[in-house]
């Protein structure tokens, strides 16, 4: 160790900024008023609770939310996803009503709205109905933008979907709304979310539409380049706890903002570390190259930082 660093003034001189609340965004899970019962996750609330939750986050210095909505009407075509005034659209409006400066990102995906729980629409023979899925995602994106979303985030990793979303947004005069597609690994770390939101596919799994963990270090880079070529202006990597190497590689390969999403299963595991350990983990994500950290622990981290600042 360089003995100079033992001097406080020198340590401070060479210090690099560490994590602050401004680096954090939080998932907002908008649920029916009467439940559903499921694992407890921070940011899970009824529509009525949105204002209170978002005010609290804003006052802590958190700059953004990503909204996921629980769909109660589910059918084969995900019609509820496009129904006027649905829970997603109401959620966007509720956030913007109390905190117009809070950046709102929305999940664009079929799985909250399909009766089979898949992210994509299926043909009768079971194959992916590509055209219908592109149209669903693009139409959802336009509705979210009209309701006030700043960024839309397609989750299903279907080549061509980002191009479709981008071009529908442009056609509808929402050129200033961002498209932030996911780079999602197949993982157990989505467990609590899927249970609470009822988005576990009734049959099978999403594996064909997610990155294979054993190949993610390479395939994430290929997919990221493809998304950017299709018009993505930022990217989300999920999960990150078991994909820190992918985050570092992505950072080296891409210049667009990268959102590191610490998913629901991570939150459960992270609690074992205690608040300081949780902060340490989020600081590591920033150091590894995340421009923004989307985390169920956002409030916990922001609270801890505020306490440390005062102390
Ligand atoms: N497409 C649905 C979706 N959107 C975000 C998550 C996981 C989020 C989390 O665990 O925090 C999932 C689950 C999945 O794809 O299986
Ligand atoms: Zn989905």
Ligand 1 contact, 185 CB (< 6 A): no
CA distance 205 to 10: 53
Ligand 1 contact, 199 CB (< 6 A): yes
State the pLDDT at residue 201.
81
**In 3D, which of 100, 116, 21, 109 has the Cα closest to residue 67?**
109
Show the domains of the chain with their CATH numbers: 21-310 (3.20.20.70)
Ligand 1 contact, 263 CB (< 6 A): yes
CB count in 10 Å sphere of residue 2 = 7
CA distance 177 to 29: 21
Question: Which residues, at least 6 apart from 72, have a Cβ–Cβ distance to it below 8 Å?
Answer: 32, 80, 87
Mean pLDDT by 10 residues, the chain (311 residues): 82 88 98 84 96 98 97 92 96 98 98 92 92 98 98 96 98 98 97 91 79 96 98 98 98 98 97 96 97 98 87 43
Ligand 1 contact, 57 CB (< 6 A): no
Pocket test for ligand 1, best of 154, 193, 210 (most atoms within 8 A of CB): 193
State the pLDDT at residue 205.
73
State the pLDDT at residue 155.
95
Is residue 253 classed as helix, strand or coil in its secondary structure? helix
Tokens 């899927």, located at residue: 194
For residue 13, CA distances in Å to 9, 71, 151, 286, 287 come to 6, 52, 37, 20, 18
- CB 114, CB 74: distance < 8 Å: yes
State the pLDDT at residue 311.
43
pTM of the model: 0.96
Query: Which ipTM score applies to this complex?
Result: 0.97
Q: What residues form DSSP beta bridges with 211?
A: 185
Question: Number of C-alpha atoms within 13 angstroms, CB side, residue 108?
Answer: 35
State the pLDDT at residue 310.
56
248, burial (CB in 10 Å: exposed 0-12, middle 13-18, buried 19+): middle
- CB 233, CB 180: distance < 8 Å: yes
The rounded Å distance from CA 157 to ligand 2 centre is 9
Strand ranges (E), the chain: 24-31, 44-46, 64-69, 103-108, 151-154, 178-179, 182-184, 235-238, 258-262, 292-295
CA distance 94 to 188: 31
């Amino acid at each position: 160790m360089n003995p100079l660093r033992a001097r406080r003034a020198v340590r401070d001189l060479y210090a690099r900024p560490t994590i602050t609340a401004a680096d954090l965004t939080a998932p907002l899970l908008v649920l029916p008023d009467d439940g559903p019962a499921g694992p407890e996750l921070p940011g899970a609330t009824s529509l009525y609770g949105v204002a209170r939750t978002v005010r609290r986050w804003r006052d802590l210095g958190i700059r953004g939310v990503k909204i996921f909505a629980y769909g109660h009407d589910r059918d084969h075509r995900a019609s509820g996803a496009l129904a006027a005034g649905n829970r997603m659209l109401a959620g966007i409006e509720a956030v913007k009503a109390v905190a117009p400066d809070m950046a709102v990102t929305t999940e664009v995906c079929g799985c909250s709205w399909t009766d089979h729980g898949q992210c994509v629409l299926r043909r009768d023979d079971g194959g992916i109905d590509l055209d219908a899925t592109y149209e669903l995602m693009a139409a959802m994106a336009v509705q979210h933008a009209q309701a006030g979303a700043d960024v839309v985030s397609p989750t299903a990793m279907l080549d061509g979907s980002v191009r479709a979303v981008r071009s529908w947004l442009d056609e509808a005069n929402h050129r200033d709304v961002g498209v932030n597609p996911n780079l999602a690994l197949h993982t157990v770390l989505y467990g609590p979310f899927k249970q609470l939101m009822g988005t576990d596919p009734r049959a099978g799994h999403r594996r064909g539409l997610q990155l294979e963990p054993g190949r993610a270090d390479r395939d994430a880079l290929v997919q990221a380049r493809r998304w950017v070529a299709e018009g993505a202006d930022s990217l989300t990597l999920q999960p990150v706890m078991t994909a820190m190497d992918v985050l570092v590689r992505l950072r080296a390969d891409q210049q667009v903002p990268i959102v590191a999403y610490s998913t629901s299963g991570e939150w459960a595991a992270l609690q074992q570390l205690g608040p300081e350990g949780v902060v340490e983990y989020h600081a590591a994500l920033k150091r590894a190259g995340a421009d923004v950290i989307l985390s169920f622990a956002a409030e916990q981290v922001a609270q801890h930082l505020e306490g440390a600042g005062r102390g």
